[in-house]
Amino acid sequence: MESINELKKEILKLTKDYSKKAHNSFRPAGDNLRAVWEKGMPIPYAGRVFTEDEVVAAVSSTLDFWLTLGSEGHNMESELANFLGVKKCLLVNSGSSANLVAISALTSYKLKEKKINQGDEIITVAAGFPTTVAPILQIGAKPVFIDADVITGNAQCDQLEKAYKKGKTKAVMMAHALGNPFDISKTLEFCRKYDLWLIEDNCDALGCSYSMPKDLANSLGFYENSPGLYDGPNNIIRWTGSWGDISTQSFYPPHHLTMGEGGAVNIINSQKLVVIAESFRDWGRDCWCPSGIDNTCKKRFEWKLGDLPKGYDHKYTYSHLGFNLKPLDIQAAIGRIQLKRLPEFIEKRKENWQYLRRGLIESERFLEFALPTHAKGWDVNNGFFWDNTECRSDCSWFGFKISIKENSPFSRTDLAKELDRNKIGNRMLFGGNLIRQPAFIEVKKANPDAYRVAVETKGSDKIMNNTLFLGTYPGLTKSMMDFEIETINNFICRF
């Protein structure tokens, strides 16, 4: 009779063989087993990129049938935290849930005078994805909107002071748009000046980095050879998602790595925030034992909390009104394999952006392209050139942003329709100007004081009206990108 281990080994061998045949169109570009793309086939703007290794990991975890977050989850949390150089990563079931947990954690009474109360203000940016902003409203705080820059897609961080209100502003919460870091140095200086929380929505930017001169970094509390830092000759360099107090990731299929559904909350350096965020993720309980493990505090029946009797089971003691937002261990098993691919995926996104940019030079008359924060321009021979701040952004692009110039004889919608006609995946910059969205209009109708617009949002309107993006994901082959370039250049030649 076969042993269980032998049977599992045989199942996984067959799984590997099956996946090689069934999933060859999802392999990384350049993989010699990848199915060949031909004209007429769709080109998605993003998608899963994996091999049989992820499928085997998922099936192996399924056969173990632990299901809820367990050893695979614990290992992925440690591996992701080691990559980012942060105190702790907590896996959750989506990037949107990560944003909800991150902002909810800052409402904890355990933070005393630093806690965010109902009616407190949080500065954010008008252009972007709604679930960066929705959790602010969901906790009863007030979003305060500044404008977005048309070129970078990011917040115009020189407007932060205009949004500040003494005694009311408690935090800044913004995304690094399309894998382009916002101005971290200016934002951190602002947050340090007023003792504000900084929450980085890093969902589109895993693998992007930001550098600043060492004297500036030191003044903001970052020093050489600290965890998560790697040093240039004159600068300190750090991954996005590791500069603020807390940050978030999404592992939905279009993102830099995938668990199917999934995300993470990254706690940069505070053990207190680790315990609070974990509580909000796990039903609001006070106990920090993982599922299936009891009494790691060695005094499970000795606590006296709230008005509960002394000795009430710590596993059923709740310090917050929390949620249950954990993913499955199966997803974490997939994510761990993906995390090993991350360095390759990061570089491929950079290469794909440059390839598309070079190919679309002849369309510059009517099209405007993204630049990294602090970059002043781009040329075909030297790539990006920079302003005089000495800060730099290194982008692992989530997408290839294209804006239609004001003098163009066609609209963004015209170009989007042409791309659709040729089965080329494209997307708007998410919600465009969020304050124009039906949900935010209805929120304002119900409560005119629900949010505040600190400045005119002309840049966000331009993004809403004139901008779309193509993919840069590591499943794009050169033949796919050549067809995208050909389609756009031919379309513009008509004008």
User: What end-to-end distance do the CA atoms of the chain give, in Å?
Assistant: 74
d(CA 177, CA 427): 14
pLDDT tens digits, one per residue of 22-46: 999 999 999 999 999 999 999 999 9
Nearest of 159, 160, 178 to residue 169 by alpha carbon = 160
d(CA 346, CA 398): 10
What's the rounded mean pLDDT across residues 249-276? 97
d(CA 369, CA 71): 44
CATH T-level topology, domain 342-493:
Aspartate Aminotransferase, domain 1 (3.90.1150)
Q: Are the C-beta atoms of 147 and 463 separated by less than 8 Å?
A: no
What's the rounded mean pLDDT across residues 382-403? 94
Q: Do domains 71-316 and 342-493 have the same CATH topology?
A: no
What's the rounded mean pLDDT across residues 167-189? 98
- 434: which 2 tokens? 């969020």
d(CA 174, CA 196): 13
74 is catalytic: no
pLDDT at 444 over 90: yes
DSSP 24: G
pLDDT at 263 over 60: yes
Nearest of 271, 215, 229 to residue 90 by alpha carbon = 271
Nearest of 427, 260, 251 to residue 345 by alpha carbon = 251
Task: Tell me what the pLDDT averaged over the chain comes to.
Answer: 96
286 membership: H or E segment, kind and range: none
Q: Are the C-beta atoms of 402 and 369 separated by less than 8 Å?
A: yes
pLDDT value of residue 343:
96
List the 452-453 sheet strands across, edge first: 88-92, 263-267, 246-250, 197-201, 169-175, 121-125, 142-146, 452-453
d(CA 432, CA 465): 8
Q: For the structural domain made of 71-316, what CATH number should be given?
A: 3.40.640.10
pLDDT value of residue 63:
97
Nearest of 296, 305, 301 to residue 313 by alpha carbon = 301
How would residue 230 be classed by pLDDT, with cut points 50, 70 and 90? confident
Question: What share of the chain in percent tops pLDDT 70?
Answer: 100
pLDDT at 225 over 80: no
- 86: which 2 tokens? 């942060």
pLDDT at 288 over 80: yes
Residue with tokens 């993102």: 255
Nearest of 81, 372, 79, 121 to residue 247 by alpha carbon = 81
Domain boundaries, the chain: 71-316, 342-493
pLDDT value of residue 223:
87
Measured CA distances, 311 to 183, 308, 315, 317 (Å):
50, 8, 11, 10
Q: Are the C-beta atoms of 233 and 198 separated by less than 8 Å?
A: no
Q: Which of 222-236, 280-294, 411-425 comes out lowest in average pLDDT?
A: 222-236
Q: Are the C-beta atoms of 157 and 163 separated by less than 8 Å?
A: no
Q: Looking at 255, 314, 320, 374, which residue is catalytic?
A: 255
- 398: which 2 tokens? 């989530």
Q: Are the C-beta atoms of 102 and 122 separated by less than 8 Å?
A: no
Q: Are the C-beta atoms of 241 and 249 separated by less than 8 Å?
A: yes
Interacting residues of 217 by C-beta distance below 8 A, sequence separation 6+: 223, 235, 236
How would residue 1 be classed by pLDDT, with cut points 50, 70 and 90? low
Interacting residues of 164 by C-beta distance below 8 A, sequence separation 6+: 123, 190, 194
pLDDT tens digits, one per residue of 197-214: 999 999 999 999 999 999
What's the rounded mean pLDDT across residues 64-85? 96
Burial class (CB in 10 A: 0-12, 13-18, 19+), 447: exposed
pLDDT value of residue 293:
85
pLDDT at 226 over 90: no
The torsion angles phi and psi of 12, rounded to 5 degrees, stand at: -70, -30
Measured CA distances, 27 to 50, 55, 241, 265, 475 (Å):
5, 12, 28, 28, 7
The torsion angles phi and psi of 456, rounded to 5 degrees, stand at: -65, 145
The torsion angles phi and psi of 458, rounded to 5 degrees, stand at: -65, -40
What's the rounded mean pLDDT across residues 221-235? 80
pLDDT at 122 over 90: yes
What's the rounded mean pLDDT across residues 317-333? 97
pLDDT value of residue 120:
98
